Amino acid sequence: MRIDVKEAAEFLRENNDYLILMHASPDGDTLGCGTALCGALQRLGKNAKAVCPDEIPHKFDYLFNACTEQDFEPKTVVCVDVADTKLLGDMKEVGDTAKLCIDHHVSNIDYAERTLLEAESAAACEIVFDIINELGVRFDAALASSIYTGVATDTGCFKFSNTTPRTHKIAAEMIELGADFVNINYEMFDMKTPGRIELEQAAMKTIRYSANGHIAVIYAPFSMINSIEGIDSDDIGALASMPRKIQGVDIGICVKEKKKGEYKASIRTSQRIDCSKIAQKFGGGGHERSSGCSFYEGTIEEAADRVVAESEEALRKAGII
């Protein structure tokens, strides 16, 4: 059943003992939603806890200032920013009993009893912001920092095309109410570990261009990833966006070998190319500007060559080459 913000707030007011589930490989939006909603419910005198199937990177520790740890028997499962219970890892079965899901993914499979879906929201935190207002809970600095984190991270700090006037208006209000935005933005967008810098440099050294500079490819083979200390999956994931940032590049490709012999190609494109179609040719998928696909045979160069060939075809179809 699809419901609106008023109905979601009503449901949350009527029930108690909330278990709020955040998706695996957690990002700032799911964690911002979970901690803000948990904190808001606690301020209403409810029992609530926000949990994630995966370990939460330390850079997000501050989000848990928004809520306190409570010991109680959960009764009501709520999922935030979770389009499909497959994204809940070990907690999939708990997610299948969800009474409420709050989400902004158009791909949401309606697994919960009630779903509040606003696909035009840049971040699920925008919806949680509305719910907290509807619940009549006043924002303090900690709640504001959680909501700010979700809207900032899901929009690449207000850069991506999903950013709307409403995103900025919510950011304005959260800053007004004390969101610690300077430190949040430094931690989320600017800070890099020495390992991350070493990895970026090693990967960028592998760059090769094709189609007159419209395509750029970088590699991160197993040997490279394995030889650099102190890097995590976030660091490896961040390589994906690097080649597309080079002037003149319409299609940026990064091929990573996280496990020996298993390659993942990440594709990023300019507004002139829909890269989900390129990924689909290899059984992958994603969004128009950001997609990915996997390869389980051959060498890392061969995997890259196949994606490059398909990318050249896409450039030809678009009349760019």
- Residue numbers of the site for its own copies (CB under 8 A)? 157-161, 163-169, 171-173, 175-176, 181-183, 185-186, 189-194, 197, 201, 204-205, 245-247, 271
Q: Could you tell me the strand order of the sheet in which 262-269 lies?
A: 208-210, 215-220, 251-259, 262-269, 290-295, 285-286
* CA distances, 217 to each of 26, 39, 234, 274, 318 (Å): 27, 44, 19, 17, 20
Sign of CA pseudo-dihedral 131, 137, 141, 143: negative
Which residues have C-beta within 8 Å of that of residue 93, sequence separation ≥ 6?
none
DSSP 188: I
In terms of residues, how long is the chain? 321
3-state secondary structure of 76: strand
Which residues have C-beta within 8 Å of that of residue 175, sequence separation ≥ 6?
144, 148, 181
